[in-house]
Structure 1
Amino acid sequence: MKRKICVITGSRADYGILKPLIEEIQEDKYLSLQLVVTGMHLLKEFGLTYREIDNDGFLINAKVRGLLNSDQAKDIVKSMGKLMGGFADTFQGLSPDIVVGLGDRFELMSAVVAAHVMCIPVAHIGGGDKTFGVIDDAFRHSMTKMSQWHFVSNEEAQCRVIQLGEDPKRVFNVGEIALDNIGRRQLLSKFQLEKELNIKFNKHNLLITFHPVTLERDTSGKYFEELLKALKELKNTHMIFTRANADAYGRIINRKIDAFAKKSKGKVYAFNSLGSLRYLSLIKEVDAVVGNSSSGMVEAPYFKKGTINIGDRQKGRPRIASILDCEPKKLDILKAVRMLYSQPFQKKLKTLKLPYGVGRSAHKIKEKLKTVQLNNTLKKGFFDKC
């Protein structure tokens, strides 16, 4: 009898990262893939991105709705409650053997809580990372305690999961799964990107993603204004924005992006969601990733591209020589831009050392999902030493 593996995806971003694993599970004769979509996938304002999953030929077994059309903190809480109920109904119908989720989003937190209460074992990808600036950091560590197996991206993360009391035999350092796509897919050329996205590259080009810093109330809009003030100073530079997540205050940022793009037609482009292939292809072609997205910490260094990391949202993640940290202030950001284009920094990019492995993480995860013991797996002890 095939082992039923239920994969949760809540956005085009995490679907792009999970896709190699989804393919691995679907192609394995000993496993049965169950795919559950939720979150931003199902919202019109984010492009109804579940359709991309349909177009890729995967069967969607369930859609769990519940995300309210608001980014206020109290409405995020209400959304989590609705999602939890939806996942409970879904899991009861699908009866998965293992639930698999990636990252630290509140949508996944709702799924993991439902699975935990219903005694369904969870395999969590991306535990042990640290992002001090957002509420998601606590979600991630909470999900670690409710999960039975842990697939981490680096040695530091592996040690943190064990420090949380998890059995080292259940903590697997498989490398960064986000890097699998780079090796598996033929990326688009600059010409193809211009044609598909209806954009034009300039002498200098920046890829910009700025998400709310959810633990700093009412500051996200102000911080983003500082970034926009800095960007206005740049010459011969085209800017490609991806809009913010459906976090608290995310819509404030998105409105500011739209207004900035409207005033700067021809040099500023904004997209709800680019998808994994186009996003990675853009990283390959631009000068740097700017903002506070994890892609600047993980994927950009792989392409030997610089990252201007603004503020504390990614505080706690491993620092690589390609990352320029700066405060969310106009002058600090402009200083980082000057450093980015300096000859010493560009020379440094050519000899980067990466802490996240070299790919094939999806295959490693799939093999573990296929072979881990399911009997008596829910009861966990507390490992007191790392």
Structure 2
Amino acid sequence: MSKRVFFLTGIRSEYDILAPVIDAVDRTDGLETSVIVTGAHLIEKFGHSVQQIEADGRDIVTRIRSLPETDSLSSRVHGAATQIAGMADLFAEKRPDFLVVMGDREESITGALSAVYHNIPVVHIGGGDHAEDGNVDNPIRHAVSKLSHLHMVTTELSGQRLERIGEENWRINVVGASGIDRLLSTQHMSREQLEQEINVGWEGKPYVVVLYHPTISDFEEARIHMRTICDILETSGLNVVIMAPNSDPGNFAIVSEIEALVERCDRVRSFKFLPRKTFVNLLRHAHAMVGNSSAGIIEAPSLGLPAINIGVRQRGREHAENVIFTSYEAPEISEALRKAIFDQGFRERVALKRSPYGDGTAGERIAKVIRETVPGPELMHKKFVM
């Protein structure tokens, strides 16, 4: 009899990282998959990215509409409560053998909490990672690890952190980052094909990709920070593609500044959502990433892509030499942009594609662990190792 594995996802970037794992589990004898969809996936404002999950032919076991139409601090808490209620109803009716959660967003902790109260084993991808940015993501990530029964970590250092917080070694599996699986498996497009796909006529001239998300620790300054970034991009002379921010508090202000930049600068294009093939090839042909997305830390090194990380988000996170960290100050950001685009020595070092995040086989490794793990008392009984 097959083991049933549920995957939980609430936002486009999270699903793209999970997709190679779902594919690998689907290909594994004795395992079958379903997806719980919630959060920003179901909201038009954030691109209604459930359409990608549907296009991939996933079995969507339930859709939990949880995201309030506000970007206040309380919105994520109300959304989390709705997710817990929805999963309680789901697990009472349809019980998986494993629940897989990803990273550090609210759906990871609501899923883990709901599952452990139903005695369902939790598989956590991305535990043990840490940034010194003061963001709520860090304690959420570590709390999910304590609720989880199997850990799929991206690096040896992340695994060591889990041991330090009392996790048993046999539960910890160093598998690499599945986002790299996505990069390696996505079909290549030529630069000309890409420009046709996103409807631009840049004729091969340099462009940058911007992914800037709000951070709870300074979300009230999100508009000021994004305005600074937009002013630098406008005067840079570069072509720009901006992806919409995530659904965290402060996103309304960021979107407003993006819309204003698009209105006044014809070198800028913005998107709420792009199909995976288009987005991956957008990164492949870019000259740099700008913002504070984890994609600059985890995926960009494997593409040889310079990444400028602005502000506190991702600070102190394990990274390759492709990342340039800056403050929110305009001169520092401008200098980093110059280095990323025009410093040939830096670009040549980045082009070596050295990364601490694995070789693109995370999905297969995770599927193998799940297949070989027997749900039962030994797995569910967690001990704290001193």
TM range (shorter): over 0.9
**For the aligned residues, what is the CA RMSD?**
1.4
Contact 1:71 1:251 in 2 (8 A): yes
Q: Which moved more, 1:224-233 or 1:295-304?
A: 224-233
CA contact (8 A) 1:31 1:370 kept: yes
Instruction: Give, as a single letter, the amino acid of the residue that structure 2 aligns with 1:234.
Output: S
> Does residue 305 of structure 1 match 2:305?
yes
Further displaced range: 222-231 or 348-357: 348-357
Unmatched segments (≥5 aa) in structure 2? none
Per-residue Cα deviation, 1:336-372 (whole angstroms, up to 9, x for no partner): 1122211221222233421111111101100111111
Are the equivalent residues in 2 in contact too, given 1:67–1:83 (CA < 8 A)? no
CA contact (8 A) 1:7 1:33 kept: yes
Shift of 1:32: 2.1
Give the corresponding residue for 1:209.
211
Q: Distance in 2 between matches of 1:128 and 1:271?
A: 32
The residue that corresponds to 1:52 in the other structure is: 52
Contact 1:124/1:150, CA 8 A, preserved across alignment: yes
Number of the residue aligned with 2:125: 125
Structure 2: distance between partners of 1:173 and 1:303: 21
Matches of 1:350 and 1:244 in 2, distance apart?
27
Shift of 1:217: 4.1
Tell me what 1:144 maps to: 145
- Write the deviation string for residues 107-139 of structure 1: whole angstroms up to 9, x where unpaired: 222111111222211000011111333211111
Q: Could you tell me which amino acid in structure 2 is paired with residue 301 of structure 1?
A: P
**Aligned with residue 232 of structure 1, among 234, 237, 242:** 234
Q: Secondary structure at the match of 1:32?
A: strand
| Cα pair distance change 1:319/1:47, threshold 3 Å | closer
Residue 245 in 1 paired to residue 272 in 2? no
Secondary structure of residue in 1 paired with 2:60? coil
Matches within 5 A, 1:1-386: 1-133=1-133, 134-201=135-202, 203-235=205-237, 237-265=238-266, 267-340=267-340, 341-376=342-377, 377-384=379-386
Greater Cα offset, 88-97 or 271-280: 271-280
User: Is contact 2:234–2:265 with CA below 8 Å preserved after alignment?
Assistant: no
**Match of 1:49, as an amino acid?**
S
Per-residue CA deviations over 1:79-111 (Å, capped at 9, x if unaligned) read 111111111111222101110011111122211
Distance in 1 between residues matched to 2:360 and 2:180, nearest whole Å: 5
Rounded to whole Å, the distance in 2 between the matches of 1:26 and 1:92 is: 24
In 1, the alpha carbon distance for the partners of 2:211 and 2:296 equals 9
Aligned residues: 382
Query: How big is the shift at 1:200?
Result: 3.1
Counterpart Cα distance in 1 of 2:188 and 2:51: 21
Unaligned 5+ runs, structure 1? none
Letter in 2 for 1:297: I
* Structure 1 moving runs of 4+ over 3 Å: none
State whether residues 144 and 150 of structure 1, in contact with CA within 8 Å, keep that contact through their aligned partners in structure 2: yes
Deviation at 1:8, TM superposition (A): 0.8
Aligned pair in 2 of structure 1 residues 184, 217: CA closer, same or farther (>3 Å)? closer
- 1:200–1:101 CA distance, 2 compared to 1 (3 A): farther
